[in-house]
Structure 1
Amino acid sequence: MNVLPASLLGLALIAASLVPMPALARSSDRNQPMDIDAGHSDYSLDDSRPTVLSGGVIITQGSLDIRSSTATITQQGGEPVRAVLTGGPVKMKQQLDNGAPFSAEASKVDYDLKAEVVVFTGKVTIQEPRGTLNGERVVYNMKTSQVTSGGEGAGRVKMRIQPKTGQGGG
């Protein structure tokens, strides 16, 4: 099943870059096997319809751990072009290269592999040791490294950035 690795690996790499602080996902995770566990899978051998994993989806690769109710992967020409994870909420955890933990949670994660844009929506929380980002919608453009976040309706964006430590008081 060559449908998932490129899709979900991209989510892992994106997630570590979302908080506006220097953070890199564990680079060695990309070279690890990916394990996928789901209650049900429904996929076509061609691009006629998306692959749908459901029934509690668990995806692991090295230190990366993604959990969602469903994962829907769309292909074109045999290559994944979009991955949408929903429900439960979607939870992502990974260790950074420095060993620090990183996590993200949202109701939905929509990753457009062609445009290289990830959209987190619904009670978004992104945490890493230097801070947190909360909002109703966070958009990360991998090509431009631009992060846009906001709330729907009267929603607000909330960030907490911890001071640097051990760098001469700065």
Structure 2
Amino acid sequence: MPQIAASLSAAACLLVLAGGAWAKSSDRNQPMDIDANSSNCSIGDNSPCVFSGNVHIVQGTLDIRAAKADVRRGGGDIQRVIITGSPARLSQGLDNGGTMTASASTVEYDMPRETVIFTGNVRIEQAGRGAMSGPRIVYNMQTGQVQGGGGEGGGQIRTRILPRAAQGNKQGSD
């Protein structure tokens, strides 16, 4: 179970990077608390661990609220974390003192590929700096590239980048 908590922590911290700024680095060293209505975990290496019903994950300034968190293991390591909700919500403080918030129907972190995929009514905002929204946003942890697209159902990606003068004003909703 500690490996699952640590992996969820890593995945959740990495999700924050899609907001365009580094997550609060000290959060990674904080204990993680997970509350849910139920959990169904197996100790087998290739078995899932699923937390469901009012899932609330807290680690330092990181706060995740979702309907379900599904952790998949393989080869002794966490391979994938899938967080779902209507929507799943994430917020975290940043090292620069700001805050990042994100919401999506599904947030999937693929550890071997080092990608975070947000799907379904995605909205990622960094207070005072800007926002990005759309049906699907993919963040590549290795390259730092963020890609947005309409997904299978079409739709557009909206991005708002605030000018430097406006960044201190905490505005920027699109």
Match status 1:80 vs 2:78:
yes
Structure 1 segments of 4 or more deviating over 4 A?
none
Q: In the TM superposition, what is the alpha-carbon distance from 1:114 to its structure 2 partner? A: 1.2
For residues 84 and 3 of structure 1, the distance between their equivalents in structure 2, rounded to whole angstroms, comes to 16
Q: In the TM superposition, what is the alpha-carbon distance from 1:48 to its structure 2 partner? A: 4.1
1 or 2, which has the higher helix percentage? 2
Write out aligned runs for 1:1-170 (5 A): 1-19=1-19, 21=20, 23-129=21-127, 130-152=129-151, 153-165=153-165
In the alignment of these two chains, the number of paired residues is 165
For residues 155 and 77 of structure 2, the distance between their equivalents in structure 1, rounded to whole angstroms, comes to 37
Unaligned runs of 5+ residues in structure 2 are: 168-174
Task: Give deviations 1:93-143, integer Å, cap 9, x for gaps.
Answer: 001012211100000011111111111000000000200000100011111
Contact persistence 1:14–1:140 (CA under 8 A): no
Q: How many percent of aligned residue pairs carry the same amino acid?
A: 47
Q: In the TM superposition, what is the alpha-carbon distance from 1:54 to its structure 2 partner? A: 0.4
Contact persistence 2:46–2:72 (CA under 8 A): no
Q: Given the superposition, is the C-alpha separation of residues 165 and 118 from structure 1 closer, same or farther in structure 2, using an over 3 Å criterion?
A: same
Unaligned runs of 5+ residues in structure 1 are: none
For residues 96 and 154 of structure 1, the distance between their equivalents in structure 2, rounded to whole angstroms, comes to 32
Residue identity opposite 1:74 in structure 2: R
For residues 157 and 57 of structure 1, the distance between their equivalents in structure 2, rounded to whole angstroms, comes to 28
Contact persistence 2:13–2:62 (CA under 8 A): no
Q: In the TM superposition, what is the alpha-carbon distance from 1:17 to its structure 2 partner? A: 2.3
- TM-score (norm: length of structure 1): 0.90
For residues 60 and 75 of structure 2, the distance between their equivalents in structure 1, rounded to whole angstroms, comes to 28
Task: Give deviations 1:24-83, integer Å, cap 9, x for gaps.
Answer: 110000110000101100011112421111011110000000111011111113321110
Could you say what the CA RMSD is over the residues aligned between the two structures, in angstroms? 1.7
Contact persistence 2:10–2:28 (CA under 8 A): no
Q: In the TM superposition, what is the alpha-carbon distance from 1:8 to its structure 2 partner? A: 2.3
Residue identity opposite 1:4 in structure 2: I
